[in-house]
Structure 1
Amino acid sequence: MISKFYKFLRKKGMKSRIVFAFIVVPLVLIAVIFLLYYVISANILYDKSEQSAKAFVDMTEENIYLNTTKLEEQLATIMQQSNFSAMLAYPDEDTYKQAFEAYMSENSYLRLRKDFQLFDADAHLIFKEGAHIYPLDTILERKDEQEENSWVYVEELKEIVLIQNVRKNQQLIGYSVCGFPLDALSPSFTRMDREGSMLVIADEQGEYLFGTKHLPSDIKFDFSQKSFSLREDNYYVTSKKVRGMDWQIVSLISEENLYQELHNFRNMILLYGILLTIVLEIIAFFIYHSIYDPMNNILTTMRSIDEERSLVQRVVDDGNDEVHQVAVNFNELLDRIEELVKTVESEQEQKRETQFQLLQAQINPHFLFNTLNTLHFLALMNDDKPVGEGISALAKLLRNTITDQKDEVSVAEEIENLKNYIIIQKLRYGDLFETVYNIDEEVKDCKILKFLLQPIVENSILHAFEEDREHQLLTIRAQKYHHYLKISIGDNGKGFKPKERKNSNRNLSGIGIDNISERIRLMYGEKYSMQIQSSIGFGTIVTLLLPFTKE
């Protein structure tokens, strides 16, 4: 994976890589960190808001419970007065009404009340305090018959009404209806001034009753949901049932208001990101040109080099970085190239002079070959066939020696050189020995070092054969032996002892047997060799193991 990414980067330009390293990568990292921070911060804010809302709802529920309980107890205390029950028993007696009215004006328990009314069991108004008359029939429809005390919200009056059954000797004799403002339940309804937040009261079905802010009456809450949408705004919902009542306290916190600070921070980060991008682009611009300009200078100089142009241009770089080191090394390379060009030009001049000298020197070998050919034809014209053959063999041998510059020849060519050499030697020794050639067809085109066999044959002719012996043979054998080319040169001459080999290791040309072994080792390696077997009175056999290589 890493190698593929590295190859991908190498296919891109230097500018793209710098932009990727200094702009793309930092911005991606900043974006990832920002998103992580945003998500984590949003979760933390939501958790803190939920905890705060829950604590506020708990506090409000506690206040409502305590206040409603206190008001119920106070009103129950009043209804236990004798004047209260007497007024219900004798509604036409003004004395009881005046006494009850005086008692209510002096009572401090219900000082928060706005209206107070007393009805008999038939829902007839007996006593009235305040400007409004409550619709008892409507209120009783909302009242739970099983409860002695019930709280009802009267939307028309914006009041919370406490309804209590009045009994005497367990018999229902009337109803007391006492109205209170909203803040009588809890101070939260007057102190809830946080922007984007509100506190509302809903019934058990989730229908909106009243709250710190007025909402449409058709709103209905789902207490199982954590969020609520109102006029295209989202709110987080926290609710709790009020003890002893059929009401639910609902806290609504605006999502936009909750995340306003986080959104401001997000906008600030985006602004800083834009500024950072601009700064990174400026830095990347200068870094790019600090690398690209000297590199481009080197590339321009490299492209300007021409074989026909003098190498005088050099890279000028006053930096102190790796690119400067490349420029210095490149200038040194140019100096070296210029020196090599001058050297090559000098060598070419010397080569032309040498070729001219060699052209002149070719006259002598041609003159020698022409002279030998002339002598060959003169010998044939004089019917001196052995001399003619000897001169012809000498010409061929000299031609292969002087004009043919190859290091290797085929086995067939090497045998041909041997035959020419033996013809020349027979001019001197006559019929002292006979030569037998046993060359397999499959090895004739194998490659062999030129004049590798001639010194061995020469040693046999000069040192092995005796002038007074007959039937002396020189046998030359070439064949394939496993994966080797095996060549054996044997004679039935005098032979020698191993300690005498040093003295017999010379011939007229000055090339020794050990020199042949060294040539084989240098040319083919240690695994190829030359072996010599000799016995006095029986002769000598020299065996060569060479690589079986076809031309």
Structure 2
Amino acid sequence: MMSIENFSFYVLICVLAPLIGAFTLSFIIIFERRFDSLQRETSKLALEKELQQVNYDQLNSKIQSHFFFNTLNTMLSLARLDRKGDLVAGLEAMAKFFKFKYATNEPLILFDAELSNVNNYLDIQKLRFGDRLRIIIEIEPACKNALMPPFMLQTLVENTFKHGFEKNPGPSILKIIAFETDHILNLEVWNTHLLDTYNIEEQYSSEEGGYGLKNIQNRLRLLFPEQETSLTLLHVKNETMVLAKYPFVKEYAI
């Protein structure tokens, strides 16, 4: 005969078993839903990351092709003027640039590497402008080891020639200034001539004008989606300045 203690235990098991089963089933269902949610979130983040990389690559390729055609026109001009020595020097500088271009596959590179490549571009422009052109470069030592988007500085410098120096006779001064404040890299590119339009908004909304400002702004947003970045075009007396601000970083993983 079953004792009262055993009978009570049996009843307790009969009562608790369904509750334990229901609790376990609920836990499993909640866990599976949470797991599915995490999987969907992970997939979403992976897709967004992939899309950002695709968008970045497309934007970056636009800047590189833009430079190619402008540089090619420079070489053609030297050839038409029969400046053979200058043409050879220009082609050497151009070769260095494209060697850099095809070896650059990262979304961010050292500032110093970008500056070195810009000097290749400036070597070409020195052949064209001669004594008319004066270049001032002031870079804080720490900034040379910071990271920046490839061809960003080159594009800003190129704009000073295409939309400033080439359309205005007389002496031309290009200033490149970089410094760090509160973990923000400040990059200034100055030229001594006003650009051919005051419509900053139009320049940001169109790539056809060749400014590339919107392109650079979009790349900065893709690279630093959760951090503040800015690109500003200012006119100060008889000078134009483009100011880029973005996080001062030495390491980055996209």
TM-score (norm 2): 0.59
Q: Tell me the distance in 2 between the aligned counterparts of 1:412 and 1:480.
A: 15
Are the counterparts in 2 of residues 455 and 507 from structure 1 also a CA contact under 8 Å?
no
Structure 1 counterpart of 2:7: 279
1:16-55 → structure 2 map (5 Å cutoff): none
Structure 1 counterpart of 2:215: 515
| 1:44-74 residue CA offsets vs partner (Å, 9 max, x unmatched) | xxxxxxxxxxxxxxxxxxxxxxxxxxxxxxx
Are the counterparts in 2 of residues 528 and 545 from structure 1 also a CA contact under 8 Å?
yes
1:494-533 → structure 2 map (5 Å cutoff): 494-496=194-196, 498-499=198-199, 502=202, 510=210, 512-522=212-222, 523=224, 527-533=228-234
| 1:439-494 residue CA offsets vs partner (Å, 9 max, x unmatched) | 12121111222222222212111010147733212111112335432211001124
Relative to structure 1, is the Cα distance of residues 545 and 426 closer, same or farther in structure 2, using a 3 angstrom cutoff? same
Are the counterparts in 2 of residues 488 and 543 from structure 1 also a CA contact under 8 Å?
yes
Structure 2 counterpart of 1:477: 177
The structure 1 residue matched to 2:235, chosen from 509, 531, 534, is 534
| 1:270-301 residue CA offsets vs partner (Å, 9 max, x unmatched) | xxxx9221113334566787788x8xxxxxxx
Relative to structure 1, is the Cα distance of residues 502 and 329 closer, same or farther in structure 2, using a 3 angstrom cutoff? closer
Are the counterparts in 1 of residues 111 and 143 from structure 2 also a CA contact under 8 Å?
yes
Q: Tell me the distance in 2 between the aligned counterparts of 1:414 and 1:475.
A: 16
Are the counterparts in 2 of residues 393 and 421 from structure 1 also a CA contact under 8 Å?
yes
SS in structure 2 of the partner of residue 444 of structure 1: helix
Q: Is 1:457 equivalent to 2:185 in the alignment? A: no
How many residues were matched structurally?
202
TM-superposed deviation, 1:420: 2.5
Structure 1 counterpart of 2:107: 407
TM-superposed deviation, 1:328: 7.5
Are the counterparts in 2 of residues 458 and 507 from structure 1 also a CA contact under 8 Å?
no
TM-superposed deviation, 1:438: 1.5
Are the counterparts in 2 of residues 486 and 543 from structure 1 also a CA contact under 8 Å?
yes
TM-score (norm 1): 0.30
Q: Is 1:434 equivalent to 2:134 in the alignment? A: yes
Q: Is 1:492 equivalent to 2:220 in the alignment? A: no
Q: Tell me the distance in 2 between the aligned counterparts of 1:506 and 1:434.
A: 30
Q: Tell me the distance in 1 between the aligned counterparts of 2:200 and 2:30.
A: 63
Relative to structure 1, is the Cα distance of residues 279 and 506 closer, same or farther in structure 2, using a 3 angstrom cutoff? closer
Relative to structure 1, is the Cα distance of residues 524 and 323 closer, same or farther in structure 2, using a 3 angstrom cutoff? closer
TM-superposed deviation, 1:511: 5.6
Q: Give the number of the structure with larger relative contact order, counting CA–CA contacts within 8 Å between residues 6 or more apart.
A: 2
| 1:379-412 residue CA offsets vs partner (Å, 9 max, x unmatched) | xxxxx66444434433443344344321112221
1:166-177 → structure 2 map (5 Å cutoff): none
TM-superposed deviation, 1:512: 2.9
Are the counterparts in 2 of residues 436 and 474 from structure 1 also a CA contact under 8 Å?
yes
Structure 2 counterpart of 1:66: none
| 1:210-269 residue CA offsets vs partner (Å, 9 max, x unmatched) | xxxxxxxxxxxxxxxxxxxxxxxxxxxxxxxxxxxxxxxxxxxxxxxxxxxxxxxxxxxx
Relative to structure 1, is the Cα distance of residues 408 and 291 closer, same or farther in structure 2, using a 3 angstrom cutoff? same
Q: Tell me the distance in 2 between the aligned counterparts of 1:386 and 1:504.
A: 35
Relative to structure 1, is the Cα distance of residues 325 and 425 closer, same or farther in structure 2, using a 3 angstrom cutoff? same
Relative to structure 1, is the Cα distance of residues 322 and 445 closer, same or farther in structure 2, using a 3 angstrom cutoff? same
Are the counterparts in 2 of residues 464 and 539 from structure 1 also a CA contact under 8 Å?
no
Could you tell me which runs of 5 or more consecutive residues in structure 1 were left unpaired when the two chains were aligned: 1-273, 295-320, 341-383
Identical-pair percentage: 21
Q: Is 1:543 equivalent to 2:243 in the alignment? A: yes
Q: Tell me the distance in 2 between the aligned counterparts of 1:451 and 1:440.
A: 19
SS in structure 1 of the partner of residue 3 of structure 2: helix
SS in structure 1 of the partner of residue 249 of structure 2: coil
TM-superposed deviation, 1:501: 7.0
The structure 2 residue matched to 1:418, chosen from 87, 112, 118, is 118
Between Structure 1 and Structure 2, the one with more helix by share is 2
SS in structure 1 of the partner of residue 162 of structure 2: helix
Q: Tell me the distance in 2 between the aligned counterparts of 1:507 and 1:461.
A: 17
Task: Please tell me whether Structure 1 or Structure 2 has the larger radius of gyration of its CA atoms.
Answer: 1
Are the counterparts in 1 of residues 108 and 148 from structure 2 also a CA contact under 8 Å?
yes
SS in structure 2 of the partner of residue 405 of structure 1: coil
